[in-house]
């Protein structure tokens, strides 16, 4: 019984934002689930076991401002993108390392990131 409880336990932690963060155990998505989820995040591309998207800005300052705005949603979800900055372009790559592939966390964060762009 205790093992069952531990297997479905929900971990709570306080993120850097000071907000309560709910962290559910991540599970790797099937190919079918990934295909379905990709339909919810236009512009994101599947690359191996990652999803990626490049955002283009007018200049370096706008690109860095965008990267700084990623902190809050990433910390809230307890999930962080790999970030590549090339002057006015920011490429984000998401995967869930602990499951060796994509999980709902990746798609949840992608949706949050897309909301940062007007």
Determine which one of 33, 62, 75, 114 is catalytic.
75
Determine which one of 19, 31, 48, 80 is catalytic.
80
97 annotated active-site: yes
114 annotated active-site: no
108 annotated active-site: no
Q: Within 13 Å and on the Cβ side, how many CA atoms surround 109?
A: 29
Determine which one of 52, 98, 108, 114 is catalytic.
98
98 annotated active-site: yes
Q: Tell me which long-range contacts 80-88 makes (C-beta under 8 A, separation of at least 24).
A: 81/109, 81/113, 87/59, 87/60, 87/63, 88/56, 88/57, 88/58, 88/59, 88/60, 88/62, 88/63
Determine which one of 19, 48, 82, 97 is catalytic.
97
Task: Please check whether residue 91 is in contact with residue 54, taking contact to mean a CB–CB distance below 8 angstroms.
Answer: yes
Active site residues: 75, 79-80, 97-98, 106
């Amino acid at each position: 019984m205790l093992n069952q409880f531990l297997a479905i336990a929900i971990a709570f932690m306080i993120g850097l934002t000071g907000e309560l963060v709910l962290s559910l155990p991540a599970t790797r998505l099937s190919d079918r689930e990934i295909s379905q989820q990709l339909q919810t995040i236009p512009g994101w591309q599947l690359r191996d076991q990652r999803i990626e998207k490049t955002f283009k800005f007018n200049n370096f300052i706008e690109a860095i401002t965008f990267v700084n705005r990623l902190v809050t949603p990433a910390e809230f979800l307890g999930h962080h993108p790999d970030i590549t900055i090339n002057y006015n372009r920011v490429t984000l790559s998401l995967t869930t390392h602990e499951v060796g592939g994509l999980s709902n966390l990746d798609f949840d964060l992608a949706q949050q990131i897309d909301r940062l762009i007007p």
